[in-house]
Amino acid sequence: MHRVKRPIVPVSTAVALLLGIVGMSCKFSFADSDRPSRGSVDFGSGRKPAIESSPVTAQFRNIFADIAEELIPTVVSVVPTRIDTITFRRNPFYRFFDDPSQGNDPFDFFFRGPGNRQPRRREPQVEKRERRLQGLGSGVIVSKEGYILTNYHVVSGADEIEVKLHDKRVFEAEIVGSDSLSDVAVIKITEKAEDLPVAYLGDSEKLRPGDWVMAIGNPFSLTSTVTAGIVSAKGRAVSGGRSYQSFIQTDAAINPGNSGGALVNIDGELIGINTMIFSRTGGYMGIGFAIPINMAKWVMEDLIYEGKVSRGWLGVKIQNLSAATREAFGLSDKFTGVLIADVFEGQPAAKAGVKRGDVVVSINGVNVDDVNELRNTVASIDPGKSVPLVVMRDGKEIELSVRLGERDEESLEKGESAEEKDRDEDSEGGSAEGLGLTVKSITGEMRKQYGLDKNVKGVVITEVAPSSQAAQEGLKPGDVVKEVKVRGKRRVAVTSAKAFKRELKDVKEGDAVMFLLERDGGTFFVAFKVRK
């Protein structure tokens, strides 16, 4: 058998052949001589999509652009500047790092006697420098005189304010007034400014969830940015405390820098001042909030004309009705109102005859469904005005007349709402004997142990089992039970452990029970169903 010998190709020859092939492929890829002449190629289809637009669609196509063109000039960039003065020495280390060749040994201070220390050079001069910290927000021009609506948190603490208009004009401005409780501030251009574009103020009460809106502002320093969305909800309160909130919630994109900007409806009317967002990242997540223009306008006018905001004051602590509370009071599941948890002595409500345990149905003809609505309604009424107050008491509707006071610093200290203590969840069953709490009659020793005032009456809770229903309802040792109410019975004041046990002895699974508790000087109701 003969073996055929294959010719051996040198490596250098193989490489040359490979490069030649590559060169040939490059040569024939797309020669300049093969390029088409400009204009000889038709790009895109020769016909438009066969889609017929209805007159409504044609009108809607330009609506947001038309709104933006009209409203963008009314929204300004607000640049607040805070000025700090820093005092420092030019060489703070002079004592330790002076030049030894000049007779200033850095260890001289520690290792030589007082008489042998070399004289030191003059201490460095004290110098003061100015540090300027700038922020950025938005504002809306609301009058030809140069008044601008913005947020309290945008201009709070500012020493200087600069306003930049869409047409590139720049003006100095000053704070006319601000209100932290509503997060509204009013600033005014201090220079002569002609032909200022002014936004038209709409009526935020007419808004409905689902209405189209547009947000205009300067997010992340991107001036004159517009975003569109809908009204997601109305009357939102997103935090506790003493602030007044009835936010418009929207999914129009709002980001840092939008604060103080405009929220406008599809008619181009200003219906809100953008103020905050809900976010886990610091950026847009589809939930933004704006102050309704009706509230902002009321605050603005008080700040401009009076220099402060005057709010009505009722003098009560209030909390929402839970399903268990309704059942304990014998109210229907659909009944709405606000429960009076405490009445401040000598205040308007007390003078009008309002009692603890009353349920407010309406005030000044406005029905109130929750704590936030009652708080805002009372605040919007002028102090000193007498208004009708309808309450539900012992199953009967009673109309009272209350002359509102003015909410001031003293009333703020007392606290207007017990909302944070509200127990708004419907609890499940159990037996009266198994509530898991122990109470004792109040004695002098008990008063010292739990820090109770000498005038406090009731029974004090001394023990709460960790996994008991009482613990789940938020009851704590040291709480004072002042009253007990079981569905179908009247509220009863309890002043001894014996009386407390007597009121609960017949309670069975599914019964609605309500306690009036006192904690840290304030009173509130806790209602629940006894579970198995």
CA atoms of 10 and 137, how far apart (whole Å): 75
Reported as a single tens digit per residue, the pLDDT across 283-315 is 778 899 999 999 999 999 999 999 999 999 999
pLDDT at 251: 94
Residue 92 pLDDT: 56
User: How many CB atoms within 10 Å of residue 411?
Assistant: 18
Give the residue, 502 or 178, on which the prediction is more confident.
178
* Residue 179 covered by a domain: yes
User: Has residue 142 got a pLDDT over 80?
Assistant: yes
Residues 164 and 209 in one domain: yes
Residues 302 and 317 in one domain: no
* Residue 366 to residues 236, 297, 362, 402, Cα–Cα distance (Å): 18, 20, 5, 14
Looking at residue 485, its pLDDT comes to 85
Q: Which of 108, 153, 224, 310 is catalytic?
A: 153
Q: 398 and 444 share a domain?
A: no
pTM assigned to the model: 0.66
Clarify whether 259 is annotated catalytic: yes
Tokens of 277: 């967002």
Lowest mean pLDDT among 6-10, 141-145, 327-331, 416-420: 416-420
Please name which of 86, 106, 102 lies closest in space to residue 94, comparing C-alpha atoms: 106
For 15-28, the DSSP string reads HHHHHHHHHHHHHT
pLDDT (0 to 100) of residue 415: 45
Domain total for the chain? 3
Give me the pLDDT at residue 244, please.
86
Instruction: Report residue 382 as tokens.
Output: 């002028």
Domain boundary, last residue among 258, 276, 309: 309
152 and 277 share one domain: yes
Closest by alpha carbon to 340, among 362, 320, 363, 364?
320
Q: Note whether 129 and 262 are same-domain residues.
A: yes
Catalytic residue among 183, 370, 422, 511: 183
Strand duo 262-265 + 405-406: pairing: unpaired
pLDDT at 8 over 90: no
Co-location of 165 and 297 in the same domain:
yes
> Which tens digits make up the pLDDT trace of 88-124?
665 555 555 555 555 555 555 555 555 555 555 555 5
13 is a domain residue: no
Phi, psi of 66 (to 5 degrees): -65, -40
| Mean pLDDT, residues 66-83 | 94
Please report the pLDDT score of residue 96 as a whole number: 52
Is 3 a member of any domain? Answer: no
pLDDT at residue 486 in the model: 83
- Dist CA 151 CA 261 (whole Å): 9
Check residue 530 and give its pLDDT. 83
Do 186 and 81 sit in the same domain of this protein?
A: yes
pLDDT digits (tens, 9 = 90+) for 483-493: 888 877 778 88
- Assess if residue 524 is contained within a domain: yes
370 catalytically annotated: no
pLDDT at res. 430? 26
- Among 173-177, 328-332, 382-386, where is mean pLDDT lowest? 328-332
The pLDDT tens digits of the residues spanning 94-103 come to 555 555 555 5
33 occurs within a structural domain: no
Residue 153 annotated to the active site: yes
pLDDT given at position 377: 92
**Which residues span the domain enclosing 333?**
312-421
Q: What is the mean pLDDT of the chain?
A: 82
More confident residue, 134 or 23: 134
pLDDT value of position 151: 95
Mean pLDDT of the 495-524 span: 83
Instruction: Say whether pLDDT at 157 is over 70.
Output: yes
Average pLDDT over residues 427-444: 62
- Domain boundary (421, 454, 469) is at 421
| Overall average pLDDT of the 436-455 stretch | 83
Q: Domain check: are 213 and 272 in the same one?
A: yes
- What average pLDDT score do residues 265-287 get? 87
User: Is the same domain home to 220 and 281?
Assistant: yes
Largest interatomic CA distance in the chain: 128
Closest by CA position to 408, among listed 338, 342, 352, 347: 347
> What confidence tens digit (pLDDT) does each residue in 464-478 have?
888 788 888 888 888
169 lies in the same domain as 304: yes
Structure confidence at residue 424 (pLDDT): 35
Predicted confidence at residue 98, as pLDDT, reads 53
Phi-psi region of 61 (alpha: psi -120 to 50; beta: other; left: phi over 0): alpha
Contact between 234 and 207 under an 8 Å Cβ cutoff? The reply is: yes
Residue 80 belongs to a domain: yes
pLDDT value at 172 more than 90? yes
* Chosen domain end from 309, 337, 363: 309
d(C-alpha 159, C-alpha 163), whole Å: 14
Evaluate if residue 29 carries a pLDDT over 80.
Answer: no
Q: Of the listed 178, 259, 411, 417, which one is catalytic?
A: 259
Query: 347 and 414: one domain?
Result: yes
| Residue 15 pLDDT > 70 | no
If DSSP codes are grouped into helix, strand and coil, which group holds residue 508? coil
Q: What is the pLDDT averaged over residues 22-49?
A: 75
Q: Encode pLDDT of 308-345 as tens digits.
A: 999 999 999 888 888 888 888 888 888 889 999 889 88
Distances (CA, A) of 470 to 152, 463, 473, 478: 42, 10, 5, 13
| 30: in domain | no
CB 398 within 8 A of CB 267: no
Mean pLDDT value of segment 225-238: 92
The residues near 155 (Cβ < 8 Å, ≥ 6 apart) are: 78, 80, 137, 161, 175, 178, 185, 187
Query: What would the pLDDT profile of 342-357 be if each residue is shown by its tens digit?
Result: 898 889 999 999 998 8
Q: 278: domain CATH number?
A: 2.40.10.120
N residues, the chain: 532
Whether residues 285 and 330 fall in one domain: no
Residue 498 has pLDDT above 60, yes or no: yes
Q: What is the per-residue pLDDT for 429? A: 25
pLDDT at 432: 35
Q: Return the CATH number at 387.
A: 2.30.42.10
Establish if 24 belongs to a structural domain: no
